[in-house]
Structures are given as C-alpha cells and as structure tokens.
Chains A and B, each alone.
Chain A
Amino acid sequence: MLNQDKQNYQAEETQLLKTILNYRFFNPWSYDMCDQYSLKNDANLEIYITNVCNQHCSYCYLTQFPDLYPSDCLDQELLLHNLQLLYDWILEKDYSIPKVEFFSGEIWHTEFGWKILDLTLQYLHKGLKFNMFLIASNFSFIFDDIARNKINYYIRAFKNCGHDLIFSCSCDGAIIEQESRPTNNGQIRDEKYWQTLFEFCKVHKFWFHPMISAKNVHAWIENYDWWESQCKKYNFHMKQCVNMLEVRNNDWDQ
C-alpha cells in the first residue's frame, strides 16, 4: 500500500471512530435530559487511573499482562495532571455524564487516591456535571482507622454537593481471599477486618462482587456458605448484595 493510500485509509478509520464516539457518548452527554430511547443512561465514563496495586490477584489481567498499562505513565503528578485536563475538557464541553467509574489498582487508602478524590471534589464545585461515582475497591482502607475515616469524609463531601460516591467491594470471601487475592505486604484479612468491612458496607449500603475464577472455584461451595452466613449475620440480602462474577480468563478446564 502506498503511503498516501495508508494515510487516506487511516484518516477514514479515525473518522469512523470519531463518529462512533460522537453518537455513542459525546452527543448523549450534551443533553441534560433524556428519553427512553436515549443512549445517555448507558453512556458512562470509566477512568482507569493506575495499575499500581497493593495486591496481586491470581486472575487480574494487569498482573497477567503488565504491558496493558503503559509503564511510562505511572508518575502520580502526571496522572493528576492528565485527570485535570480531562475534567477541564468535560467542563468546557459542558457534558453531563450519568455515571463515572474509577477502575484502578488499589489507591483509595493512599495519599494519591485522596488527591484524586480532592481534585474531583474541586471540579464538582466548579460545576462538573457527574451524577454519581462508582469505585471498585478491595477496601484496604478498612485496615486503617485514618484511611477509613478519610473515605467516610469523601462519601459525605460528595453527598453534600449532590453526588453519590459508591464503593463496590472487590473481595472474594474469607475462605479463598488469601489464595485468590494475596496482599503484597502479607497483610491478612482477619475476623476483625471482615466485621469492620461488613459494618462499613451496612452503614453506606455498599455491595460486594466476589470473583469466581478457575483457580479458586474448587473452594467456592464452602466460600458460598461463608457469604451466606455473613449476609445473615449482618442482615444483607444475599441475592441482591453479593454479585458473584465469573472471571473469563482462558485457564478454565473441565
């Protein structure tokens, strides 16, 4: 293919991507209101902050494929700067986004995670129109009173300016947690941890999404019983609050 042809072809592929982004996301975000046929309610924004994590879960794609996240983009100041650019652009476009999800290696018990939330709060006060925030977290902030209080503060602060900050709990359950999701520093989730976790989630009405993977499925019957007993103990409706997710990696066999 000649160079000019390659350029034309690439320009058309870019044109197609822009069209899809416009119709699927940017146009729906341009309207505050939507009817039943609007794509707006399905046009959420996922922001993947970093792959740096305090756990090395057996099924995590970032653990298996470290090249997925560019290693030269891990500087925290750079990430904060990039997020600020994104927020500035969304403000400038006056987009209204129904749900923003932060996916990330675990940072919500760290200064860096709090800086992300501070920056987001700052832009909400500037007029950023996000309806709600959802964060998938392994709830490491439960280990530490200061970190837990910080998260409590952010939940309240977001609420005070009219936005829900919701955490969805990425833990697999006491029976398989240590095998499936070992922490880098060897920290163990003990009975006290689970008690604090369930009480925290009860207060804030947060739910759980344990993962069923090829590596941990052998113990899932016992693990399921554990979830059932905990839901009963802390008065959670199991079917509603425990969303078991299947890990679709290629290591499943008979």
Chain B
Amino acid sequence: MTQKCLANFKKLTEALKNGRLPSNVQLVITLKGTLDLDNIRALQSKEKIIEYYQFYENNYMLPIRDLKLANAYTALSVPNTAVPSPVTVEDGKLFANFCRLCREIEQENWVNHYFQEYTVITPFANRNRGCENCVNYQGPLWGCGSGTTVIGFLPNNMVTSCHEGFTEVVDKYKQYVAERNLDNIVISFNRFIGDNKVQLTMTDEQYLEHERKMYYYLADNATAQLASSTTQIMALAMANLVDPKYLDEATARNAARYFQDNCSFCIKDNYNQTGSFTLFHNGLYKLLLNGALDYINPEGGACTTC
C-alpha cells in the first residue's frame, strides 16, 4: 500500500513539474498520518522516530518543496492518534514515552539537523493550551465531524461531515478487510464502518437532522462536555487508570478543557462507544493522561488562549 501511495505521489509530482497546476490555483498538500497503537508500540526509540518523520519529509515534503512552485506546498502536519476506543494504561505509558522521545528529538534537531522542515514532531503540540485564568466550564468545542466548518460532497447525492466518507464510497475496501479477516488489528475499518450506530455520511434529509443535533452539541456556553469529562477523568484517576494527579478537580478540569478544544477525539467514536456525541471514551484519557500530556503540554507553558 505504501509503495502504491509513493508511486501515485511521484506521478503527482511529475505532473506539477510539467506545469499541470494552473497559476490561479493554490495546492496545499496536508499529510494525515495516523498513529495507531501498533505504530506507537513500534516507535519506542529515537532512531525509529527519526526514520518515521524523515520518511514523510523525504517522500512527501521535499519533492514538493524542490519544485519551487509559488502556489504549491506541503503543510507541516504531525500525525494524529487513531480513534481511541480500545486503549490500555500500558498503551498510554508507551505513548507518553513516544512523546518524551519526540520532545528530546526536537531539542537535538537544532544541533543534529535530523530534519530539514520539521521543528515540532510531538502530536497535538501545536494546539491551544489554556491556563488557570481562562479555563472554566464554558470553553469552546473542537468541531471535527460536526460539519460546522468542513463538509464533503460525495457521489449519489451524499454529504459527509467526516473523512469516513472517503471510505464509505469504496465498498471494495470493506470487502478487502472482510476477506482478509483483519479484525485483529487495532483500527479495523470493518469495525469503523460496519458496526456503527452512527454514520456521518448522509443524504440531504439526514444532514438536516445531523445539523440539528450538532446545534445542541456545539451550543455556545454548553458545559455538558467539560463537566462530564472532568468527572470521568477523576473517576479514572480513582481507579488508577490515569495519573493520580487528576484526582484534583482543577487539574482534571484543565485536562478536560484541553481535550475539548483538541483534535484527539472523534465524535463518531464517542457516539459508537458511549451512546453520546458529548462523552469521550475512556481510551482517550488513558492514552493522553498517563504522562503524554505532560510532554505535549508541559506545566508552566505559556497560555495561548487568553
């Protein structure tokens, strides 16, 4: 699959080199790598992590940069974590170690120049962070999947508010997964698409209903998510499933605020696992609150919100 992607990307690069991109069009290529649990387990040394990010630079960023086109570039995106539902404490500790190594590599990179473009490689490190002065129970919500800022138009008059739409239309992909019995991998598209209680790919009529639900989910000054998330984090701390410092309500609330305005969750996963768009699955907290958030968003870092 990787070789096929690289071959396709090479064709794209060749086309750009041959002047296929009109001057009135700006092309921004955003890489959307995904760190699933298998990836995180495999990336537990600096050498592996450097190799991982160099792969992105060497194969996707530098070939576009070297074209020196004024209207085409590759965005410096850092891979996101996968849909977080089945995560254990051990996975969270491994992710924390991964984040620690990423931060150390970022520092070393100033001297050792592992990367030509990347200066930040820690997942979610560029997101907003709040402080005691601005964190309350009325924070803004991250709208991924809500369709409030981005929607996709698909064949057969379908609309999607989530990138699941890309997979929805490729029925053969489902067949591919089913035929190869890939249920034993962490992210199974079979599971992601097949057994879902909610689909974010809709007809016009269904989209109207989705909009109505999202109006409540994203309502101004809604406090349900922050309040329930704070409580959930404290309960997990009581059960020793996240760092015990989150027994403190203010600390738990700061973390909840971070999640709310952060792209680490998925509302589709929320709904499928908890029956609610608002409630996050326990896996998300276990992934980030067993040390990872302390590297992503170190205490004492400057507030970027107020």
Residues of chain A having any CB pair with chain B under 8 Å: 1-2, 5-6, 8-9, 12-13, 15-16, 18-20, 23
Q: Is the CB of A8 within 8 A of B282?
A: no
Contact residues in B for A20 (Cβ distance below 8 Å): 235, 238-239
Partner pick for A8 among B88, B235, B238, B239, CB 8 A cutoff: B88
| Residue numbers in A under 8 Å from B286 (CB-CB) | 12
B241 close to A23 (CB less than 8 A): no
A16 near B236 with CB under 8 A, answer yes
Q: Please indicate the chain A residues that have their CB under 8 angstroms from the CB of B88 in the complex.
A: 5, 8-9, 12
Minimal Cβ-Cβ distance residue in A for B239: A19
Interface residues of B in 161-197 (CB under 8 A from A): 184-186
Q: Is B147 an interface residue (CB 8 A)?
A: no
User: Smallest Cβ distance from A252 to chain B, in angstroms?
Assistant: 15
> What is the number of residues of chain B that contact chain A, defined by CB distance less than 8 Å?
17
Closest Cβ of chain A: how far from B80's Cβ, in Å? 19
A-B contact pairs, 5 of them (CB 8 A): A1-B186, A9-B86, A16-B239, A19-B235, A19-B238
Please determine whether B239 and A15 come into contact, CB atoms closer than 8 angstroms.
Answer: yes
Residue ranges of B at the interface with A (Cβ–Cβ < 8 Å) = 37, 86-90, 184-186, 235-236, 238-241, 282, 286
CB of A6 to closest CB in B, whole Å? 8
**Interchain CB contact (< 8 A) of A1 among B184, B240, B241:** B184
* Contact present for A13 and B238 (CB under 8 Å): no
Q: Which residues of B contact A9 (CB under 8 A)?
A: 86-88
Query: Nearest-CB distance from B273 to chain A (Å)?
Result: 11
- Chain A residues, Cβ within 8 Å of B89: 12
Residues of chain B within 8 A of A2, CB atoms compared: 184
Q: Which residues of A contact B238 (CB under 8 A)?
A: 19-20, 23
Question: Contact at A16–B184, with CB atoms within 8 Å?
Answer: no
Q: Closest CB-CB distance, A171 to chain B, in whole Å?
A: 32
Q: In the complex, which residues of chain B have a beta carbon less than 8 angstroms from the beta carbon of A8?
A: 88, 90
Q: Nearest chain-A residue to B91 (Cβ)? A: A5
Q: Given A2-B184, A12-B241, A15-B241, list of 15 further CB < 8 A pairs?
A: A1-B184, A1-B186, A8-B90, A12-B89, A12-B286, A15-B240, A16-B239, A16-B241, A16-B282, A18-B239, A19-B235, A19-B238, A20-B238, A20-B239, A23-B238
Docked pose: A149 CA to B286 CA in angstroms: 57
Q: Which B-chain residue is minimally distant from A19 (CB atoms)?
A: B239
In the bound complex, CA of A20 to CA of B37 (Å): 27
Complex Cα–Cα for A19 and B286 (A):
16
Q: Is there an interface contact between A1 and B86, defined as CB atoms closer than 8 Å?
A: yes
Identify the closest chain B residue to A20 (Cβ): B235
Which chain A residue shows the least CB distance to B191?
Answer: A1
Q: Which residues of B contact A12 (CB under 8 A)?
A: 88-89, 239, 241, 282, 286
Q: How close is B196's CB to chain A, nearest CB, in angstroms?
A: 17
Give min CB distance, A38 to chain B, whole Å. 17
Question: How far apart are A46's CB and chain B's nearest CB, in angstroms?
Answer: 21
Q: Which residue of A lies closest to B188 (CB)?
A: A1
Interchain CB contact under 8 A, B235 and A16 = yes
Closest 10 CB pairs of A and B: A19-B239, A16-B239, A8-B88, A19-B238, A15-B239, A1-B86, A9-B88, A9-B86, A12-B241, A12-B88
Return B171 CB to nearest CB of chain A, in Å: 24
- Smallest CB-CB separation from B85: which chain A residue? A9
Q: Which residues of A contact B239 (CB under 8 A)?
A: 12, 15-16, 18-20
- Residues of B within 8 Å of A19, CB to CB, are 235, 238-239
Docked pose: A9 CA to B86 CA in angstroms: 7
**What's the nearest-Cβ distance from chain B to residue A43, in Å?**
16
Distance to closest chain B CB from A28 (angstroms): 14
Cα–Cα distance between A12 and B87 once the two chains are bound (Å): 10
Closest chain A CB from B244 CB (angstroms): 12
Q: Which residues from chain A contact B86 at a C-beta distance below 8 Å?
A: 1, 5-6, 9
Q: Bound complex: CA of A9 vs CA of B186, how far in Å?
A: 12
Chain B residues with Cβ under 8 A from A18's Cβ? 239
A39 CB, nearest partner CB in chain B, Å: 13
Q: How far is the CB of A184 from chain B (nearest CB, A)?
A: 33
- Specify the chain B residue showing the minimal Cβ separation from A16: B239
A13→B283 CA distance, assembly (Å): 10
> Complex formed: what's the CA distance from A137 to B130 in Å?
52
Q: Which chain B residue has the least Cβ–Cβ distance from A18? A: B239
Assembled-state Cα–Cα distance A9/B90 (Å): 10
Chain A residues with Cβ under 8 A from B235's Cβ?
A: 16, 19-20, 23
A2 and chain B: residue at smallest CB distance: B184
- How far apart are B40's CB and chain A's nearest CB, in angstroms? 13
Point out which of A5, A8, A18, A20 has the most chain B C-beta atoms below 10 A from its C-beta.
A5
- Residues of chain A contacted by B87 (CB below 8 angstroms): 9
Complex Cα distance, B88 from A23, in Å, reads 22
The interface centre, meaning the residue of B37, B88, B90 with most chain A CB atoms within 10 A of its CB, is B88
The distance in angstroms between the C-alpha atoms of A20 and B286, with both chains bound, is: 17
CA distance A30 to B156 in the complex (A): 61
- Bound CA span A8–B240, Å: 14
